[in-house]
Copies of this chain bind each other. A is one copy, B any other.
């Protein structure tokens, strides 16, 4: 967000991040302390803590970082000692390389399954929900006949070790707003939190749909001729 909201505003990151974490938890995207959310406001980066129950995060548990990834404000809670999310350097890939306004990380089962059904990329076309996703180069929404392409990187033993391969992948796929991590989950970003949230909803929908299509013997990327 370029607009600076007061802390009392429901969309200030102190309130928004807990709300989105609860929502991700309910969707099964952030159970068992998995997943993570970060949002930029002005020149500050707000990041959820690590290793905690995502649906119970409170406004006073959020870290604030500057563009150098330094903590400029610790969580205000005095009740517990919190660690910053291990996803932090991965979130910053989106902030520095794509000038994102928010970066979201899910452990959705749909992502894991798609990463096992595809080798290097997930591709799907000719589904209306593709139009909810932006091309990071043209800055325009994908068209119905375009292929959504989500690249896949290999998982590592420690989350932070994904940083370089995610960055390399983002260079190779400049149009993409998401990276799948095999056997793990997905990172999705957008110019604003609204766009990042819209993108993750569209991509997860398309992945779930693709798995159901596979079970019914339906193609993900039909030949143009065979689609009216």
Q: Which residues of A contact B (CB under 8 A)?
A: 28, 31-34, 53, 107, 109, 112-113, 116-117, 126-129, 132, 143-145, 154-157, 181-185, 194, 197-199, 201-202, 205, 208-209, 211-216, 218, 227-228
Contacts and interface: CB of A to CB of B under 8 A. Distances in A.
A212 B117 CA distance: 12
Given A132-B33, A155-B144, A109 B209 contact: yes
A211 B202 contact: no
A208 B109 contact: yes
A129 B198 contact: no
B128 A216 contact: no
Nearest to A208: B109
A108 to B, nearest CB: 10
A140 to B, nearest CB: 13
Nearest to A30: B201
A117 to B, nearest CB: 7
Nearest to A125: B183
Given A34-B128, A53-B194, 6 more contacts: A31-B201, A109-B209, A113-B216, A113-B218, A127-B183, A128-B185
A6 to B, nearest CB: 14
A209 B113 contact: yes
A205 B128 contact: no
A205 to B, nearest CB: 6
A98 to B, nearest CB: 19
B132 A34 contact: yes
A214 B113 CA distance: 11
B205 A109 contact: yes
Nearest to A23: B55
Given A53-B197, A201-B32, A213 B128 contact: no
